[in-house]
Structure 1
């Protein structure tokens, strides 16, 4: 009887081990729920975090190291004058509704993105496209009005994914793409469910199903991981608890970098913030390290401009807006500003809510009071991002290499500098890498000189995952949770 029991126990152990090795579903935690699921029709990073590279694909895409690699375009050729791009598309690709992907879908998607009435949040990415022509089902010719050294990079954004005319109108709630996962369900306020695409053109993902659960409260996120209700939280909202996970062999703590420039954005058209001396005063009133320590528990890299420190063209300009309350007070006096109260609108992420309280205290020390309003994400998008109804706000810009937003006078912080706009136009027309690097350095210096915003820190990617999961991105070269290479260890 004893030997029989031992054999049975061994069989049970093997069965359990096999069951673990065969796990093919995953639950991913996210703090913010996307307002919709169409990356071509919304600015929220949470949209891409669910659907980029999972449901939707573009002609090109970002790899985990930030490089631009082929997507739905297998290869491409660029004319000698740099004005014509000929894309050879992958053959046999199907949308999730069973319709075929062809060059006509590329024409539709890019024409739609660059149309005058476009709802694309990054329409500027497509501004230099003069025409898009389908030569045959697998060949697209894209002509530019002027050279654009960043075109392939731009086409890798989530805003540039390819959609079909038959389903484009309903992608916000029922997304139909060509990616390795198919949209299955969205229980608003709770989760989005995806299943493996059996007809995917590329290598089949190891996962058969994925669920994105939305957990806004950091304490609830911690509890969900500890209980095993969530398998991974790629951007974990409670960095103060990472030490507990590091000490627990059930988990892996994955700390990397992101493209997220976290800023105290200022409304440059709202008096007295339209005075550079007031913006400069606010910048000098900020102690970045206190914000990193207090809001992010030490995770984050100080920045002095809108550019990622891990990029080779980054210029460290933090000294230009160093913490100096005395200078801040002198600048306010020079500008004739006293008894100033500014509205500080804070979206839900903990870096904003926690950081906002710290910044409010720092501003108070130089004579600036703040009226804090905590906004839900949809409200922040409507009031601040679209309505421009704010004085100050804190947000992390997680789009890759997005310094070009400062060339848009109607962007939410409303910076209007023709010199910067000319600089960005020159950058677009420049292909030489050394010349592009010099222009990017000049751009960083120009917005720092104008104290457009208060530059706080580069958001760290602090993730926690079950130790048996592999393939999650360590860094975030774009706002994505690419599950195509994720698997459970054997």
Structure 2
């Protein structure tokens, strides 16, 4: 069967548990004292189903785990599962319409209670609840049922053949949560369960001792962790807030912290920090794309609350594809890379820049064309009739609110892009929001990237593993954040196309790898080249910093960056 091709090709080295051992990495649990991690974007919740923020998902990954993960090569490896199901081991059905997972025996939660398939099934019910808003809903795209076979065996059935069945329960974006803890948190009640959302009971190497949102998390080793002698650290401090500069210095110059995430800093700044001698930057390319999202709905505060930035009100300016295209044409992406990332960035026109199988050869956006952008705006009816430098049409000025999170590189990008857009006759107001708030997912906050109370916004994220199907499925119609979903949802710019959705369905049915690549490229180009609903800017290498005394760190761009923290240890 050609449809098996993806399944056979996607799973590599699945028979072993992920473990990055090094000489001297043996002994009693907790033998190495404390490890200190700093994320300048502070976590605001420890439930990745209620937040699309990377900082929340990665902090949670220290505590709650999926059935399987992706290792640093993108290969699938088992965690709570005995093995990765495949057609060959009979874990995936011949017709590719079901996948059966088997839990490792004798797994327990950090509270000592047994982990069973009841917890697995409940996790699906939690995310798929029709009255709730799940930030990772695309992971369960096409799931028809989740059936308990026995305490250790659970079967996921899809509505049609699923050549890539590794959406649910795979990767840090789709961990297993404890049914007993979250049983009363289904649907609209999910955001109200503060204790569960801040202090999840997990199976990971650490458990929460105290969580102070947007500040600091203290954790201690999980005495019920399944691997003997792990974690090496008795406690973990996860500090949030500040900025990338301070975080980098805390590891590489002062040695106050052991690990700093997301060194979104200019190359010369990183080099200078590394001269401090306490730590070093580590980097790897994956699928992380800095981009500008175009709001296709009207965020005007003049609209009633509950109607702002919803599909019932199209955007008065950005609904015009010519305007969106002109804004893209005005940007010099190569200069953005030079200013912000150097060798750790690559200019891109793609939302999916890797792996090569799925990366379009679309390079049209890489050439800046200010005159062409001006001509396109004229063609769309926007002209500067009064000579004030700002175009207008039917009495409305071409004026945009451009928001992003607070970060030196992003503010540099904002300033450059504002200048380019000013040159083509667009008035731009800049806003930057504390990253902990912007990526926090609080349904009551007006400043989250999901709520999108601005005209355009800039950020970056990526997807688990090497297959972009679930990531592209985020842009389905009706998957946009909205009041009825507590403003959760992955379709941030409110894009909707029946043609796009039909092509997504075709991708989900297609197993032959080359054909999957062709379809994924088409979907990518519908978003980035045809509709211009989002403007990719930079394919960013992941750059973090690790102390010279921290061993076992393996940077992973395909899953949580903290995926193997159980294997970290102190180097003398």
TM (norm. structure 1) is: 0.90
Distance of 1:290 and 1:233 partners within structure 2: 27
After superposition, the C-alpha distances for 1:130-160 in whole angstroms (9 at most, x for unaligned) are: 1111121111122111122232145323342
1:208 maps to: 234
Distance of 2:244 and 2:265 partners within structure 1: 5
Distance of 2:369 and 2:474 partners within structure 1: 28
By percentage of residues, which structure has more helix?
1
Distance of 2:238 and 2:58 partners within structure 1: 9
Distance 1:350 1:298, change over 3 A: farther
- Count residues with an aligned counterpart: 469
Distance of 1:248 and 1:35 partners within structure 2: 31
Distance of 2:438 and 2:271 partners within structure 1: 34
In 2, are the aligned partners of 1:344 and 1:393 still within 8 Å (CA)?
A: yes
1:5 maps to: none
Counterpart of 2:530 (choices 449, 454, 470) is 449
Counterpart of 1:295 (choices 332, 340, 343) is 340
Query: Shift of residue 304 of structure 1?
Result: 0.4
1:243 maps to: 271
Residue 352 of structure 1 pairs with residue 410 of structure 2: yes
Comparing 283-292 and 377-386, the one that deviates more: 377-386
Query: Shift of residue 84 of structure 1?
Result: 2.0
Counterpart of 1:266 (choices 284, 289, 294) is 294
Distance of 1:361 and 1:155 partners within structure 2: 44
Distance of 2:98 and 2:472 partners within structure 1: 25
TM (norm. structure 2) is: 0.77
2:88 maps to: none
1:62 maps to: 70
In 2, are the aligned partners of 1:121 and 1:159 still within 8 Å (CA)?
A: no
Residue 323 of structure 1 pairs with residue 323 of structure 2: no
Query: Shift of residue 472 of structure 1?
Result: 2.2
Query: Shift of residue 298 of structure 1?
Result: 5.3
1:367 maps to: 425
2:23 maps to: none
Query: Shift of residue 190 of structure 1?
Result: 3.0
Secondary structure in 1 matching 2:430: strand
Query: Shift of residue 417 of structure 1?
Result: 1.6
In 2, are the aligned partners of 1:114 and 1:127 still within 8 Å (CA)?
A: no
2:324 maps to: 279
Comparing 61-70 and 471-480, the one that deviates more: 471-480
After superposition, the C-alpha distances for 1:304-334 in whole angstroms (9 at most, x for unaligned) are: 0211245432123232452111111111111
Distance 1:352 1:439, change over 3 A: same
Query: Shift of residue 36 of structure 1?
Result: 0.6
Distance of 2:281 and 2:273 partners within structure 1: 7
1:253 maps to: 281
Which runs of no fewer than 5 residues in structure 1 stay unpaired?
A: 1-21
2:254 maps to: 227
Secondary structure in 2 matching 1:301: strand
Secondary structure in 2 matching 1:166: helix
1:27 maps to: 36
Comparing 315-324 and 378-387, the one that deviates more: 378-387
Distance of 1:85 and 1:136 partners within structure 2: 15
Which runs of no fewer than 5 residues in structure 2 stay unpaired?
A: 1-30, 86-90, 183-192, 298-314, 384-390, 392-397, 481-490
Comparing 283-292 and 303-312, the one that deviates more: 303-312
Distance 1:23 1:70, change over 3 A: closer
Comparing 327-336 and 449-458, the one that deviates more: 449-458
